[in-house]
Amino acid sequence: MPTVIHPTALVEPGAQLGADCEIMAGAIVTRHCVLGDRVVVHPYAVVGGDPQYLKFDRATASGLRVGAGTVIREHVTLNRSIQAGGWTVVGANCFLMAASHVAHDCVVGDQVVLANGVLLAGHVTVGDHTFLGGGAAAHQFCRIGEGVMVAGHASLTRDVPPFVMVAGRDEVIGFNLVGLKRRGLERAVVAQLKQAYPAVYGAAGNIRALAAAALAGGTYPAPEARRFLEFFAGGQRSFARPRRSAGDATDAG
């Protein structure tokens, strides 16, 4: 169907909408937005609003991009970048449930689900195929890798590597085997990831060093396994990790 803008919706002049979009009653799409094809915006969502940043100059030319096929439910807020020429980005085929929030300068990958009330602070990155449970919150500048399962009400203040499950406060609770199987990855790839996980988390020590050593060993040719290990070389924060006993002396790395 052609793009439809329902009565009482507000699409500001300058907003760019792709084909077959639907903007429902009461929704607001600001002039700072570029929406891909088939994006659906439900009632009372605010898409491309000003960032919640006290020093922000509203004259700053910045924006928000939303990929094709993404669904934005009721009362979702997506803020534009604080940087001149910068973009907040939400990928394709995402599902942003009611009252979730994506702050300025976040980069959210493709096929990401934010359940009700998820809060992403500024500059958070989220990898493809990741699911964040209801009420989960991520601190600014956190990186959340691809294929991660985040439990409801989790509090993330550290980087979360790809393909794991995380709950509570930065606690890795296992390998997201179910998510990988749903994506149809070959058994050999899953087997390599099963080996890479304990190479990093199965021994005491600095996580960055453990991951670098495993990567240098050359025993993980699968791209997914390498992405898991390479994740630990980046970022500015420490990493979410499994709960350890009080006697473990480990470097948070």
The residues carrying an active-site annotation are 104-105, 122
The 10 Å Cβ neighbour count of residue 69 is 19
Among residues 45, 48, 47, the alpha carbon closest in space to that of 25 is found at 45
Cα–Cα distance between 170 and 193 in angstroms, integer? Answer: 21
Q: How far is CA 51 from the centre of its chain?
A: 18
Structure tokens at 15: 């907003």
Give the 3-state secondary structure of residue 233: helix
The residues near 116 (Cβ < 8 Å, ≥ 6 apart) are 97, 98, 99, 100, 134, 135
Listed in sequence order, the DSSP H helices in 10-140 are none
